[in-house]
Structure 1
Amino acid sequence: MSEVMKGVYLTGHGGFDKLEYRNDIPKPVPNPDEVLVKIGAVAVNNTDINTRVGWYSKANTGDTASISSSENSNSADSDDASWGGDALSFPRIQGIDIAGEIVAVGSGTDADRIGSRVLVAPCLPGKTINETRFVGSELDGGFAEYVVIPSIHVLDINSNMTDAELASFPCSYTTAENMLERAKVSAGEKVLITGASGGVGSAAVQLAKRRGAHVIAVAGAAKKDEVMDAGATEFFDRGTNLIEALGTEIVDVVIDVVGGNSWPDLLEILKRKGRYAVAGAIAGPMVELDLRTLYLKDLTLIGATALEDCVFPNLISYIEQREIKPLIAKEYPLSDIVQAQKDFLEKKHTGKLVLIP
């Protein structure tokens, strides 16, 4: 087998010029307890773009679209522009959503795993955020032909879906399921989901519907049909005054990936003892909180990043049992990664954009 592979190096924080497609990247070799995965497909995510431009740095306070579309960010040389808050080492191979096949194993790993079709967990949890590693950030990911990952975080999957379809699941669906799990969403509850046409939002719609929830989706009006098909019960156009449209104290749970200026309204529409879960801030991370709303209504605010232990195995079972469906907007060759990210930033699609190495 060749000792080199094709892939995309991220050479530093910044614009699209920091993505370098190459055919001479050393192919990784699995260490003890690791597996080598031949990548069949890898999806495009907000997190890949946010990491590239350094949006996770506290130096950035704007929305993800304006910063991600810029050739420069306020954190090009920052030492805190990663998920864990530490400096990244470059070059880095990004790509958090990986579907593929195990083609080699390190010592200590069962050789019978070779040939297994697998999905890679996007998050490798640690005791602290600094010890938690994210695929494509703190360790190399899927924008290449091969990747090495600890065996325990690579799960077999039995499905007749294509690699592109399977690659649409790991990051978005685990993020969504993690929020739903931590918020303890149950059948019959009213759940409002922001950004409902995006990867995480559309996943949350499906997964909340799977739990038997009444799903209220918020997204751009042009995406209404797709979002309703995914399982929404009600739909509101992005920018709608939710207090006027719904009233106050009307929903049990808010699942949010948007944040931004309209954030206070999300707490107003929650019932007493309502739960708010967040795993993104595409409209901006800086929000205004009236502490009286929080404590007088006995609300619970939940941040959700590192996955609960049950989340990724549960996702595998949902896929195998066909309880959720993939939403693929378009496929690209890996060499077209810049175009794929540009299309992603335009937000004209519903579901996932997928790269094929």
Structure 2
Amino acid sequence: MKAVIVTHPGGPEVLTYTTVPTPAIKPGWTRLKVAGFGINHSEIFTRAGESPSVKFPRILGIEAVGTIDATSAPDQFTVGQTVVTLMGEMGRAFDGSYAEYVLVPNTQVYPITTKLAWTDMAAVPETYYTAFGIFKSLQLQANDRVLIRAVTSGVGIAVLKLIQALPFTVTVTGTTRSAKKTAALQELGLDQVLITTDATQLPAATGEFDKIVDLIGPAATTDSFKHLAEFGILNSTGQLGGQWTLPDFDPITVIPNNRYLTGFYSGDVDGQLIQQLFDYIAEHHVDVTPTKVFTLAETPQAHEYLAQATGFGKVVVRVNA
């Protein structure tokens, strides 16, 4: 089969499009014919050698959509069945989705009912699953003022679209470091764009918000709290600020009185929640069209695009077209 393999850490140029053996079925595992997958920042970190547990050579890819090609559990899955797979150390402890076929544990295969085209479906799993978890945690109400920090990221755009599908009015502000993205964000229906020269610090004149989606992560958490209204919810899920934890975190002093801090861990995958997500997309006609689509051979270019400051929204790779 054709696959994109990394033999040593480096830039996008270390992603090599080549021919490798198709993985053989083994007990407890299922082989998927990959129709497409999204490109994620975590894969860029891994490719660059920033995931110490990952050993090379490795086929990257933490998510995929496709069909059952062969399975060790014929009582559980049907050949040709539409499925999603994500997380579970795919592309890290074992080879991932940057290939025409991927072998994954049976526990990591999630049958899905959807009418989405493959390219659109490929934009959903990791990005929209994370966004949906964030979206649900916010407990949004009519007239809420929402801030999305790093709104131009794939998850940021996904959260925005999920919010816009609500049957009541919510005002959404988003941050970006690039003024060049303002027009595109306004076209998406963002109510206000905040330009931040420092992603970890909001402009001094920034007001308060009822709900904040902080995709910058721990590097910006303390700053986000400064702009959270009383009884507001701060969801800190992303780590785009390059900081993974809050050192010496004291919830009594870090979390202001009558404010709430939450997050969403996409590694805790719930098949029912995935189907709820696809049902929400269908019921509310959420446009999940990816910003950019590449072929498997163009995976290095997909990495380059996502890593650029001009990168915007979700990037997917279409396979077996």
For this structure pair, what is the TM-score category when the shorter chain's length is used for normalisation?
0.7 to 0.9
After TM superposition, the structure 1 = structure 2 runs for residues 1-357 of structure 1, keeping only pairs within 5 Å, are: 5-23=1-19, 25-55=20-50, 81=52, 87-110=53-76, 113-120=78-85, 122-123=86-87, 133-211=88-166, 212=168, 213-219=170-176, 220-239=178-197, 242=202, 244-247=204-207, 250-259=208-217, 263-285=221-243, 294-305=254-265, 306-307=267-268, 309=270, 310-321=272-283, 323-357=285-319
| Aligned-partner residue type, residue 29 of structure 1 | A
Task: State how far apart, in whole Å, the 2-side matches of 1:187 and 1:34 are.
Answer: 45
Residue aligned with 2:291, SS:
strand
Distance 1:158 1:313, change over 3 A: closer
Task: State how far apart, in whole Å, the 1-side matches of 2:29 and 2:301 are.
Answer: 32
Task: State how far apart, in whole Å, the 2-side matches of 1:138 and 1:187 are.
Answer: 44
CA contact (8 A) 2:290 2:315 kept: yes
Task: State how far apart, in whole Å, the 2-side matches of 1:290 and 1:32 are.
Answer: 46
Q: What are the Cα deviations for residues 102-156 of structure 1, in whole angstroms up to 9, with x where unaligned? A: 2222135445x21122222x23xxxxxxxxx233223322100001223443333
Shift of 1:33: 4.6
The two structures have a TM-score, normalised by structure 2, of 0.83
CA contact (8 A) 1:257 1:282 kept: yes
Superposed CA RMSD: 2.9
Distance 1:218 1:311, change over 3 A: farther
CA contact (8 A) 1:330 1:354 kept: yes
Shift of 1:232: 2.8
Shift of 1:158: 4.0
Task: State how far apart, in whole Å, the 2-side matches of 1:291 and 1:317 are.
Answer: 36
Task: State how far apart, in whole Å, the 2-side matches of 1:313 and 1:221 are.
Answer: 36
Q: Percent identity among equivalent residues? A: 26
Residue aligned with 2:288, SS:
coil
Shift of 1:279: 2.3
Task: State how far apart, in whole Å, the 1-side matches of 2:273 and 2:280 are.
Answer: 10
Residue aligned with 2:238, SS:
coil
Distance 1:153 1:204, change over 3 A: same
Task: State how far apart, in whole Å, the 1-side matches of 2:75 and 2:103 are.
Answer: 13
Shift of 1:205: 0.8
Bigger drift between 284-293 and 196-205 goes to: 284-293
Residue aligned with 2:285, SS:
coil
Shift of 1:99: 1.8
Task: State how far apart, in whole Å, the 1-side matches of 2:296 and 2:165 are.
Answer: 33
The two structures have a TM-score, normalised by structure 1, of 0.76
Bigger drift between 213-222 and 43-52 goes to: 213-222
Q: What are the Cα deviations for residues 208-249 of structure 1, in whole angstroms up to 9, with x where unaligned? A: 3334543222123322343344443332223387454432xx
Task: State how far apart, in whole Å, the 1-side matches of 2:187 and 2:67 are.
Answer: 31
CA contact (8 A) 1:191 1:208 kept: no
Residue aligned with 2:261, SS:
strand
Task: State how far apart, in whole Å, the 1-side matches of 2:305 and 2:14 are.
Answer: 17
Distance 1:134 1:12, change over 3 A: same
Distance 1:31 1:336, change over 3 A: same
| Aligned-partner residue type, residue 299 of structure 1 | R
* Residue aligning to 1:74: none
Shift of 1:45: 1.3
CA contact (8 A) 1:36 1:148 kept: yes
Structure 2 stretches of 5 or more lacking a match? none
| Aligned-partner residue type, residue 180 of structure 1 | F
Residue aligned with 1:328, SS:
coil
CA contact (8 A) 1:13 1:52 kept: yes
